[in-house]
Amino acid sequence: MSRTSTIAVCSVLCVTLVSGCATRRQTEQLGGAVLGGITGGLISWAAFGAGEEIGIGIGAGALTGWAVAFAVQASDSYYARSAEQDATRYAGEYPVPRTTVRIREAHVDQGEVRPGAVVRVATDYSLMAFASDETVEVEETFSIRNGEETLVSFQAEAVERTVGGWYRAADIAIPLNAAPGTYTIEHTVRAADSVATARSVLVVSS
C-alpha cells in the first residue's frame, strides 16, 4: 500500500474511533487518550516515516482523545411525569394515534461562560404513544454549534422509555480553544419516526 493510501486509511480510522468515543458516555478519558495516541502515531508514521514526528503525533493524538472524553463530564436522566400526569398537563395533545415526542423545555444553566467552563444542558420532553403503558426506544442528543461548525456533541445510548415525561441532562465542558461568540445548543429527541428539536443559546466570552 502506498504512503498516500495509508494516510487516507489511518485518517478514516482516527476519525471513526474518536467519534465513537464521543458518542458514548464518558467512560474513559484514558481510553480516549490511548486511542488518540495510537491513531496519531499511525498518521505521523504514514506521513513522515520513523522519527520524532511519531512522538509528536502520539502526543497530539492522545491530547485530542483525552479532550473528547473530557468534553462530556456527566449525564443523567429521570422519569419526570407519568403518562397520566403528562396527559393532564398537556390535555389538548392527547390521545395520539402513534408514537410522538414533544420537547417541553430546552435549557442551559448559564447564559454566558468562558472557555473551559462546564455548563449543564437539559431537555424536558413528553413521550406519547397510543397505549399509556407502552415502551419505546429513544435517542437523546445535544450539539453545541456555531453556524455549521459543531463545537461539542453528546448522544446518550439508545434506551427503552416508558411513555410519559422525561428529563435528560448533561454536563459539558466548553473546549479551551472555543472562539468567543454566540453558540446554539440543539436539543434533539428521537422516538420511532418522531423527531423533536429545540434550541437554547450560549455565549462564550473571551
DSSP codes of every residue in 129-152: -SSTT-EEEEEEEEEEEETTEEEE
Confidence at residue 56, expressed as pLDDT on a 0 to 100 scale: 55
**Which comes out higher in pLDDT, residue 55 or 88?**
88
Give the residue numbers spanning the domain of 55: 3-71
The SS3 of residue 56 is helix
Q: How confident is the model at residue 47 (pLDDT cuts 50, 70, 90)?
A: low
Number of separate domains in the chain: 2
Grid coordinates given for 14: 482516527
Q: Are residues 42 and 88 in the same domain?
A: no
In this structure, the answer to whether residues 92 and 115 fall within a common structural domain is yes
Query: 121 or 42: which carries more pLDDT confidence?
Result: 121
Residue 22 lies in a domain: yes
Q: pLDDT tens-digit profile of 146-163? A: 988 899 999 999 999 999
| Residue type, position 94, single letter | Y
Q: What is the pTM of this model?
A: 0.68
Q: At what angle do helices 52-71 and 29-48 cross, to 10 degrees?
A: 150
Both 148 and 198 in a single domain? yes
Concatenating the DSSP letter of every residue in 153-201 gives: EEEPPPEEEESEEEEEEEEEEPPTTPPSEEEEEEEEEEETTEEEEEEEE
91 assigned to some structural domain: yes
Are 100 and 193 in the same domain? yes
